[in-house]
Copies of this chain bind each other. A is one copy, B any other.
Amino acid sequence: MNTIGLIAFAFVGSSKAIREEFDLLGITIVGLAMAFAGGATRDLLVTRIPLALQSPIEVGLGLLGVALAIALSVILTAPETHPLTLVADAIGLAAFTTTGAIVASEAGVSALGIVAIGTINAVGGGAFADILLDRSPFILFEDFYASCAVLGGSVYWIVATFEIAGGMAAVACAVVTVVTRFVAITYDVTLPTLQALRRVGN
């Protein structure tokens, strides 16, 4: 799952950079930033050297995502919204939330720390890529996306608190994240803005 996530995230980041007419290095950097900035932040928060800097395989998967984005940009105009991309991205979201929650839990942070690090691991890369593209991170005002990571991280903490058998929290976190994300994509679920809530109220 982590493998799919790395490729999907790098692919989405690079596709956005291509549309902004960044040069080849810019495309590579935005793709790698989207794939690795979340995990690097997670590792910094628990004060260890980012895993991606030590594992050539992980970086290789990111570069594969970048290459795919360049290759497919000839055929597709917005490959990051293709159904297959959305599915791969949802799997990556679930994998990254779960990894983040596990790392946080091992570092002994509080319940809210587990949710925070799970979410940062999952959406931090995408947020950083958007900052590089000079926009507000899309997770803050569009889509039911980071919310899935928040839900998954919360479920991780609840299950981890009560669980008997090991590993159940990780499975529950991954399932909740990916299922809520699929539901959100299928039914076009979004979180409301306060302005929208007020219009409903009137």
A68 within 8 A of B: no
Q: Is A91 an interface residue (CB 8 A)?
A: no
Alpha-carbon distance between A129 and B61 when the two chains are bound, in angstroms? 30
Identical chains bound together, number: 3
- A:1-48 near B, CB below 8 Å: 17-18, 20-27, 29-30, 40, 44-48
Residue pair A132, B140 in contact (C-beta under 8 Å): yes
Stretch at the interface among A76-84, A166-174, A175-183, A191-199: A191-199
Q: Nearest CB to that of A53 among chain B residues?
A: B113
> Using Cβ atoms and an 8 Å threshold, which residues of chain B touch A190?
23
Complex alpha-carbon distance, A113 and B58, angstroms: 11
Residue in B closest to A117 when the chains form the complex, CB atoms: B53
A110 touches B23 (CB 8 A): no
| Contact status A134-B135, CB under 8 Å | yes
Residue pair B117, A23 in contact (C-beta under 8 Å): no
In the complex, chain B residues whose CB is within 8 Å of the CB of A47: 44, 47-49
Q: Which of B50, B52, B133, B191 lies in contact with A136, CB distance below 8 A?
A: B133
User: A136's closest neighbor in chain B, by CB?
Assistant: B134
In angstroms, Cα B108 to Cα A109, docked, is 25
Q: List 14 A-B contacts (CB under 8 A).
A: A20-B136, A23-B192, A25-B140, A25-B191, A26-B139, A30-B140, A44-B45, A46-B49, A47-B47, A47-B48, A53-B117, A54-B110, A134-B135, A134-B136
Q: Are A40 and B45 in contact (CB under 8 A)?
A: yes
Contact B22 A110 (CB under 8 A): no
Do the beta carbons of B134 and A73 come within 8 Å of each other? no
Q: Which residues of B are found within 8 Å of A136, using beta-carbon distances?
A: 20, 22, 132-134
Complex Cα–Cα for A45 and B54 (A): 11
Once the chains are docked, how many angstroms separate the CA of A103 from the CA of B26? 24
Which residue in B27, B44, B50, B147 is a CB contact (below 8 Å) of A25?
Answer: B147
Among candidates B18, B56, B132, B191, residue contacting A23 with C-beta atoms closer than 8 Å: B191
